[in-house]
Amino acid sequence: MEDNKLFSEFPPVSTEKWEEVINKDLKGADYEKKLVWKTIEGFKVKPYYRAEDLDHIEYLNSNPDQFPFTRGKHADNNVWDIRQDIKEKDPAKANAYALDAVKRGATAIGFCAKNIQNEEQMSTLLKDIYLTAVTIHFNCCNTKFIETLRLFVAVARKNGFDTKQIKGSVNFDIYSYALKHGKFWGGEDEDINEAVELINFAKENLPAFRVLTVGGSLFNNSGSNIVQELGFSLAAANDLMAKLTDKGLDAATVANNIVFNFAIGGNYFMEIAKIRAARMLWSKIIEQYKPADKEACKAFINATSSTWNKSIFDPYVNMLRTTTETMSAAIAGADSISVTPFDVTFKDADDFSYRIARNQQLLLKEESYLDKIVDPAAGSYYIENLTDSISQYAWQNFIAIEDKGGFAKAIREGFVQDEIAKTAQQRDMDIATRRTTIIGTNQYPNLTESMNAKIEKHECCCNCEKASEIKVLQPYRGAEAFEHLRLATEQSGKRPKVFLLTYGNLAMRRARSGFATNFFGVAGYEIVDNNGFATAEEGVKAALDQKADIVVLCSSDEEYAEITETACKLLKGKVKAVVLAGFPKDMVDTYKGYGIDEFIHVKTNVLESLTAFQKLMGIM
């Protein structure tokens, strides 16, 4: 049979030829610096990949539903549970939310079990829910996991359900608790003994339930990078495996009770690769325990929206963020996905935000058919290489923990916490200098938006008292520091006025006025832009007529020489600050001598600079 390849009339081009053309176009510029991306995870990403870059990747010889399960757990589909986590603690209200969610497409419900103390309350919570058709997850904030499961089993049987057919989980996560609260629930040994009790109870009564959780989302939401989240999660899970098998439980039973809860952030391709790498590495870890059931090598992964990259300001952008994050999780083959409602950064979710969160998944299933395609990322040179790189670097984190004697010992030493803190500091600096953009917060603000009145105080679901036995991890959002600046402006009742004195070259003055608008806009200042002035005197008069607090000169480096001295002289003592947009380095000292108070440019630490302006304005 003739091989009619597309484009066969074009001769193949070698990598060497491509590199030759690229280096020619670079005109002597450093290839590594210009085109190779060094990720915050520490590995390098090339500007392009070719088929030859797949030659060293061993798992590509496997199919979906085959060890090491990198390519997915299912041979003929890509199914996942549409999970809706309900924070409401009142049983009747939570039940109403759940029934509505199931009616509108959710296939899994996560309940907060804090107020479930007896069978009556459990019956109220589960009223009219068909338990063998809907997966039930308990987020047991009261830490009474075994009591919650006993109540659940009693009510389920009373309602006529075969509990052996009911699927679900409880988030018994001893390490996340210790890292949040600074201590274990009842002590490390006691918690492991409770895990044994939970597993035995579930094996007898709820064999399709998983009762152990490893919360990688805590690492993510505390500022970790992707390989740290994955490597530390694997180390925590392996610690559970080792301790529980030492207690006499078989490896397959323990592994089949573990849920990995990963947060999915905005790094689209990297997040796809993270989940694929998680399945591969976990399968190889479990293989070493020689489980009787090979199915135990399949990781169960719940993906939930990262809170780290969400914002109070311009909150509808959170919908866009969670949409791409959900796509990453679905394409990667997560077992269940929980989309965080877009407005939870400043209020409790309502019917609208719950519906949007649920519908994002429904659209990806029912209109984009992502559940019909097995391993959608298969064969992508880029994603396959990201998967391989993340696997290698996450494994290094895993080995580092093992060398310290396991996860429990590593967190007692503070190793995990310190490593995440270093990364979080770097990520914070990237946001402060706008190398990382948070739309609506540190870049491209909505200048007319006011959020202070919309922020509701809502109770934390869990008891957050902290002990000092173990250094805690503190979840936070990367946007918080900038939000603090803008909220301080709103709360002060005074909105500083920034006047843009534009002059000269049209392209340069527009570019720099746009930069200045974004710069001061993220602090909530009023921006007065202009079409341009013929002279410095004309611009200064307009600024004073507007009663400006800050005047920003916006022109080209060459033309600043024409207006800076005059503008500074006329503005001295009449405004709080004169700022120049740009950094003409040969003239900086001269312009400072004229009276320029600050230079704003792409290398400015925006957070630091705006904090100083807030103090100057008497706001902070």
Q: Where are the domains of the chain?
A: 15-52, 76-404, 494-616
Of the pLDDT bands very low, low, confident and very high (cuts 50, 70, 90), residue 463 is low
Does 510 have pLDDT greater than 60? yes
| Residue 8 confidence (pLDDT) | 75
Task: Please provide the CATH number assigned to the domain covering 76-404.
Answer: 3.20.20.240
User: Is residue 440 predicted with pLDDT exceeding 50?
Assistant: yes
Q: Confidence band (pLDDT; 50, 70, 90) for 352? A: very high
Domain 494-616 class, CATH top level = alpha beta
* Confidence at residue 357, expressed as pLDDT on a 0 to 100 scale: 96
Instruction: Please give the full DSSP string across 277-308, using - where no structure is assigned.
Output: HHHHHHHHHHHTT--S-GGGGSPPEEEEE-ST
Give pLDDT tens digits for 583-609: 999 999 999 999 999 999 999 999 999
This prediction has a pTM of 0.94
With 0-12 / 13-18 / 19 or more C-beta atoms within 10 angstroms meaning exposed / middle / buried, residue 378 is middle
- Residue 20 CB neighbour total at 10 angstroms: 11
> 84-124 pLDDT, tens per residue?
999 999 999 999 999 999 999 999 999 999 889 999 999 99
Per-residue pLDDT band at 459 (split at 50, 70, 90): low
Amino acid at 433: T
Give per-residue pLDDT as tens, 26-57: 998 999 999 999 999 999 999 999 999 999 99
- Residue 545 — pLDDT band, cuts 50, 70, 90? very high
pLDDT digit string (tens) for 172-230? 999 999 999 999 988 999 999 999 999 999 999 999 999 999 999 999 999 999 999 99
Residues in contact with 522: Cβ distance below 8 Å, sequence separation at least 6, in sequence order: 441, 442, 443, 445, 482, 485, 486, 606, 610
pLDDT at 1: 44
How confident is the model over 400-425, as a mean pLDDT?
Answer: 98
Phi, psi of 315 (to 5 degrees): -65, -20
Closest Cα to residue 496, out of 579, 431, 555, 572? 579
